[in-house]
Structure 1
């Protein structure tokens, strides 16, 4: 049986939400529309439309030179070729997974550890924060040039110290070493980013939670694991999203600067660039690779969110 709302008596005060809306002038409403509408249009134009267009183009064959009339529908042919007869795809997929796991376990964990230490208001904490955050101000392309100065076989700092006893190792030229060397260089920048994000979250935690845990006899590790970490769920979600994006998208800059994503540094985003912008000029093929990269990134992020929401709903 439907419930009929009681009519509002004449002269009675309007609901609070309606009163607030009626207080807005025409200028206020125009400002709200502009402030909300322009970012939404920009997001649709530069993020969602290119993403959806790329997914659509992944089912086509197009060299990007002719007009839209030259686009040919090929269905899942691009995906079938990528998974069966495209040699760089296997190493690139493996390297992307290694990059994601390494970023999650090493620099992200270390950045959280540094944030917890600096949150204790140790001496010279401001200097430490500025020093550790400084690499974040550098682009990954510049970090790649700095990495070359460290890892270069002839004039690199590391080989200058370790390679005097014989022929210095070619760190960036050895497929067994260059991926790990580049991961360490990229982590140098990522640690400061995670540290600042987590430090901002720690500053917002209610101090009474720490006091209550101390009264109950909890150690620092128990307080962080059982009290602080669960409270910082919004920051944890941001950290995971940033880590996935940086490991799957941001890896392109540093890898392409070092050797163009070849010889042990193959990545999916490099393959996307080579097929769309490079000499191959296969828009559909590159779009299919980009769609695979999008599915991988969304898979990690959505899985993390689902697991956390399920834990929150458990009694």
Structure 2
């Protein structure tokens, strides 16, 4: 009975995980090979949905937007999050207040953040355009959410407001494992602040860096709620991402098979990054 007890405790959450996660994954894969409107009988069509995907310019546009999200999240949220983490790790008056203010967006959902940034980016009375006009930069004021050339970057900017504190928390956790003895030895050897950071602290932050990059890539691939709240993927799909495009086809156009095919492509791309992360973790554990 003692041997069975752990498995009995695990049985309920594992059963729920299978019902709510594993089974829907396989069900979605099956539906992706069919033509189905969600009500009538499924018709098996093989790889037709996938062939149509890669000739669908709006899907390719959504995929390219996800790549822009990925680049923005990795190149901006990771280094800025690391910078904030280094600042928060110092001792100075008001440190806790400043840390709380930076972390505040993490307490908000992307739906709330999307609504807040919709007000900020409003073309006439939005805070950003009002500020640009006030400082004499009115020529840079735009209809940020209705200009196809800039709308994706405006959405990424809004999402970074929440993503940067998340990266900061990951790096703050990593800084707790940095050897103080090595840092003190570098000070004794005459290393300046940049040298201590580059040659002593940053190498020890590699595990946190791998986690931060992987999590940001996965979050960029599953971006949906902030896009849906702020633009619905418009104008003319210019801000659409894969999750948003999948939702439109599956639940607006009732093309469940085509929507499932988009979900499968998104799942495979995400799974690739997860497996790469697990490979790095296992490889590091073997070295240790």
Contact kept in structure 1, 2:132 and 2:140, CA below 8 Å = no
Select 2:46's aligned residue among 75, 94, 114.
Answer: 75
CA shift at 1:230, angstroms?
A: 3.4
Question: Could you tell me which residue of structure 2 aligns to residue 282 of structure 1?
Answer: 255
Structure with the greater alpha carbon radius of gyration:
1
Select 1:121's aligned residue among 88, 91, 99.
Answer: 91
CA shift at 1:167, angstroms?
A: 11
Q: Which runs of 5+ in 2 are unaligned?
A: none
Cα distance in structure 1, aligned partners of 2:132 and 2:72: 25
1:123–1:291 distance in 2 versus 1, CA, 3 Å:
same
Greater Cα shift, 96-105 or 177-186? 177-186
Q: Which runs of 5+ in 1 are unaligned?
A: 1-25
CA shift at 1:184, angstroms?
A: 0.9
Provide the secondary structure at the position in 2 that maps to 1:172. Answer: coil
Deviations along 1:163-200, whole A, 9 cap, x unmatched?
47689631111111211111111101111111112112
Counting only pairs closer than 5 Å after superposition, residues 103-182 of structure 1 correspond to structure 2 as: 103-163=73-133, 169-182=142-155
Cα distance in structure 1, aligned partners of 2:38 and 2:203: 49
1:260 counterpart = 2:232? yes
Contact kept in structure 2, 1:141 and 1:257, CA below 8 Å = yes
Question: Could you tell me which residue of structure 2 aligns to residue 7 of structure 1?
Answer: none
Question: Could you tell me which residue of structure 1 aligns to residue 11 of structure 2?
Answer: 37
CA shift at 1:216, angstroms?
A: 4.1
Cα distance in structure 2, aligned partners of 1:137 and 1:245: 20
Provide the secondary structure at the position in 1 that maps to 2:93. Answer: coil
**How many residues of Structure 1 are paired with residues of Structure 2 in the alignment?**
282
Deviations along 1:140-163, whole A, 9 cap, x unmatched?
111111111111112211222334
Cα distance in structure 2, aligned partners of 1:253 and 1:206: 40
1:198 counterpart = 2:171? yes
Cα distance in structure 1, aligned partners of 2:42 and 2:149: 41
Cα distance in structure 2, aligned partners of 1:196 and 1:158: 28
1:308–1:54 distance in 2 versus 1, CA, 3 Å:
same
Cα distance in structure 2, aligned partners of 1:103 and 1:204: 25
Cα distance in structure 2, aligned partners of 1:101 and 1:308: 22
Cα distance in structure 2, aligned partners of 1:253 and 1:46: 20
Cα distance in structure 2, aligned partners of 1:168 and 1:53: 47
Contact kept in structure 1, 2:218 and 2:273, CA below 8 Å = no
